[in-house]
Amino acid sequence: MDTCHVDRAMKTIAVFNNKGGIGKTTIAVHLALYAAARRIRVLVICLDRQGDICRWLAGGDCLLQDGLTFQHSEYLRVLYSPGELPNRRWDVDLVIVDCPPAVETADSLSADVWLVPLDGRLAIENLGNIHASLCAAGGKIMLVLNRCDMIGKRALEGLREAAHLIPNAYVRDETIPATAPIAKAAEYFRPVWKVPHGAKTKGDRAMQSLCHEALTACSFEGRL
């Protein structure tokens, strides 16, 4: 995978952990839609061969082909480039990279913010395999406790304590809950705040709080 060279004025957020099925795509979709709604020009790059973020943002109607690109809205463009970051400059404010669970990703990508979902002990263990590379790549490492209410209160506190022991990482103590509205989001191809009975729910508030904090970490606070 080639290293991606980007304009210094452009910010990059990579959603990544070396573990599948922990909500990376869900977080990346919500972040992209939240930013675009605030007139931040966003490019989503899907590095994951599964291409779920492309299908989601295409409303389910998407024939995946390497290099596929489409305009979701005025402020949001999507690129499917599995396993390889295109070596070019982009006329956007923010690139959001939906990463596959592959160790080499951290060695070939630089980001202003690494959003790392954690849903349990295995996610912590898999983070250990990439932590040194994330630190070397630069950027802020933000650990997101995602759907951790499912593991029980005692296990959640243990996970939070373990996360706080990880060097050079910031832990968001506010969790993203496992809620029906968030689960519906992928089925409706919409963000949680636009699914039936999703707006102003616990999941909606938590997801928007995460998006706001991630964009603030990239110095977009004046546009929020």
CA of residue 29 relative to chain centroid, distance? 7
pLDDT tier for residue 152 given thresholds of 50, 70 and 90? confident
Query: Where is average pLDDT lowest: 148-152, 173-177, 203-207?
Result: 148-152
* Domain, as residue range, for 75: 11-215
pLDDT tier for residue 87 given thresholds of 50, 70 and 90? confident
Over range 186-196, report the average pLDDT.
96
Is 2 part of a structural domain of the chain?
A: no
Over range 61-83, report the average pLDDT.
92
For the stretch 160-183, pLDDT in tens is 999 999 999 999 989 999 999 999
**3-state secondary structure (DSSP) of residue 213:** helix
pLDDT over 70 at 217, yes or no: yes
Higher pLDDT, 6 or 74: 74
Is 222 part of a structural domain of the chain?
A: no
Q: What is the pLDDT of residue 6?
A: 42
- Average pLDDT over the chain reads 91
Is 224 part of a structural domain of the chain?
A: no
Is 6 part of a structural domain of the chain?
A: no
Q: What is the pLDDT of residue 160?
A: 92
Burial classification of residue 157, based on how many CB atoms lie within 10 Å of its CB (0-12 exposed, 13-18 middle, 19 or more buried): exposed
Residue 200 sits in a domain of what CATH number?
A: 3.40.50.300
18 token code pair? 């070396």
Q: What is the pLDDT of residue 1?
A: 41
Is 161 part of a structural domain of the chain?
A: yes
Is 221 part of a structural domain of the chain?
A: no
Whether 206 contacts 175, CB under 8 Å: yes
Is 220 part of a structural domain of the chain?
A: no
pLDDT over 60 at 4, yes or no: no
CA-CA distance, 105 to 200, in Å (whole number)? 35
The CA-based angle 224-119-28, given to 5 degrees, is 35
The total number of structural domains that make up the chain? 1
**Cα dist. 123→31, 32, 149, 212, 224 in Å?**
21, 23, 15, 24, 31
Is 5 part of a structural domain of the chain?
A: no
CA-CA distance, 46 to 84, in Å (whole number)? 9
Q: What is the pLDDT of residue 3?
A: 40
Q: Of the spans 2-11, 79-88, 102-111, 139-148, which averages the highest pLDDT?
A: 139-148
**Cα dist. 1→38, 48, 94, 103, 192 in Å?**
32, 13, 21, 12, 33
Q: How would DSSP label each residue in 67-107?
A: T-EEEEETTEEEEE-TT----S--SSSEEEEE--S-TTHHH
